[in-house]
Structure 1
Amino acid sequence: MSQQTVNFPNTFAEIYGFENVESAKEYHMMIHVKNFMLPFEEQLQSLVDTFYEVSSGLAGRPQAVMKRYFLSDAANQAGLVREINSDERSALSIIQQPPLDGSKVALWAYLVSDIEPTSTQSGTSVVFKRGKYTHLWTGGLSNEEKNSQSQTALIFKRYIKRLSEFDMTLERDCTRTWFFVSDIDNRYSGMVRARNDVFDSCGLTCDTHFIASTGIGGVQQDPSIFVQMDACATGGLDNGQKHYLYASDHLNRTSEYGVRFERGTYIDYGDRRHIFISGTASIDHKGDIMHSGNIINQTNRLLENIEALLKEADASFDDLAQVIVYLRDPSDFQIVRKICSERLPAKPLVIVHAPVCRPGWLVEMECIGIKKTEYPEYDSF
């Protein structure tokens, strides 16, 4: 693996590369604006220019699979983001979660070499195949039903139909979801009820498994949209390739307090392990909030929890390829950035303003890891 930061006049890019393999090379990239005096259109264009310049120089000439834009004002900015990405084949996610470094926009991009991605459903999904595996990444699923519960139910209905087009199912093949909920303190419960109902209908229980997930505050361009879902799924896995992470000495099962998602999931391929850590906060093994009101201690505790989940996957912070940090209070940015720079140096990382699903949680973090492994009984990624 490699980590590097590339500087440009108006931007800088943090890049994690999983390159030293014979099969596909993978990259996670976080691009940040550093010239805050530029108007939004110029900040956005600088990000896009940086993405193309950096990606064109990466080994294997990788293709973008997923792009997520973090915006400061979706109502006035999302349209231009869609316009400037109209020819992209990657799945596109756009959400108002203001970057807390002072910029108007930041970009996370996931890229894979040696693929021919195919865009589906007007660019909200991209599918690519490698060997026996089919990978489907989806961004920006939403609708205008009357409340968060009915919107979530329809999102799942449409997503399940999309999965079926590739001979996949939610319960077998979906690995990771992200839910962005506007006014999360009031609308999160509706999203959870709908998700629980869907899982019941699919036979997903605490005795089988759930799906790794983040449920976090986020605002769409259209104020009538209360919920957006992004997701990734992989079809063609053998029994035993997908595993779930619990770290039960640090965390409890989410079903114990009425929500249903896995703390983490990892997939073993013949040459690597993909690790998806769900949104993780300062919580103990009983499900109680730890260090109420103390941002330093909450940040350190969530890092301890993530470290325990990674350890269960025989991984560590060194294997992290991407990190997103969500803060309820923007004034905590400098403190959290300092802790992250000390504990997770040089990682592709972005810190955004997004309330967590419980008001007592001041900070939440999610991440994706890639670890080199050898499992000859499985096909390579």
Structure 2
Amino acid sequence: MSLKNKLNRMKKHIIREEAEPVDKAPLNELPEDALPHADQWGAIGAAPYVLDEDYCIVREKRYPLDHIHGSYSFRDAVRAVKAWQDFDGEHPLSARGLSPQDLFFFDTETTGLGGGAGNTIFLLGHARITESEVVVTQHVLPRPGSEIPLYHSFLSKVDYTTLVTYNGKAFDWPQVKTRHTLIREHVPKLPSFGHFDLYHGSRRLFKERLGSVKLVNVEKEVLGFHRKDDVPGYLAPMIYFDYVERRDPEGIFKVLEHNELDILSLITLYAHLSLTLLNPGEPESFEVGRWLQYTGNKERARTLFQKIVDEGDEGNDQALHLLALELKKEKDFEQAAKLWGRIGEEAPAKWQKAAYIELSKLHEHRFKDLDRAKQYAERAVPLVREGRESDHLQHRIDRLLRKMEKQ
């Protein structure tokens, strides 16, 4: 029977609202040769999930909330969710109104990095925080063509509105949505404030410092977690195809372990990002300020930039510039000019240039001092790149000269 026909036949099973609960069957309820090395699967907490004479494999593992993963325990994620309850602004990572039990930490392993129906998901992993523990669940595709029990077992537990992923908005969840037409019909569109993608948060806070924000780099440099004997993600497809061919699960167990670590790191990374946003300190305070400013939390951002300026922390010049921009928007031009004037000769060229150009604008349009406006524009000349930026600056200087001639 074709996959399409099987999907149509089983449509009633996949609609979650109408689905009857299907228990994981004991190993002895499957044909004797259906799951080779069943004892090894059982030893790692895995069992078959049987549906319409087909099955997938579901594994469950539990951790106490006090379990340490790098520099954090899972209880820190509980603390982070509670801390969000006092946050009165909007933010993509805000868990205000949610409980720790609402979050659904999710990651997949696939047969390739490309999109489209030809790319098969062979492992769906997720974790939930309960009042006393973290429960990790993994759904394994034992062979191509067994997607129905795989997705049935997964969809019976998934929470679409509170996904926590790492680049899942661009990859993992779209893969689930596009794998099959029938499945896609029952996976709703992600709401804009219902999916916490920690990859974007990591780029905002760590990109400048780390360069690469691959999860393994963030684990080592930010979370204090170091993997040992981990299977690289790019090898997962080859290991899966080897398992399908030989049925020996030794390699696929390593892929499950890799996926499990990814999921556990999502929990502690959410804790770190949240606690850093709500109580920023070095080395990320400036980046936190920029993110708060970008998300509309201007008062919080301004307070943080002012703190950086007052304490002379790293990012002082950037903070001066962004704080001055906020004052300019509020029409406090005198104070904005004073802040831009504090960006000294030893500041990076980027911030010197920005300060000189803004001072030139203020003196031309607000203070009506064309000579000072031209002086500041000329100071910026050696700091700009050839091309459009240089042309715009020269146009400003030429316009100031014409104005001065008419005085």
TM-score (norm 1): 0.25
Question: Which structure is higher in strand share?
Answer: 1
Between structure 1 and structure 2, the one with the greater Rg is 2
TM-score (norm 2): 0.23
Q: Which has the higher contact order (CA 8 A, sep 6+)?
A: 1
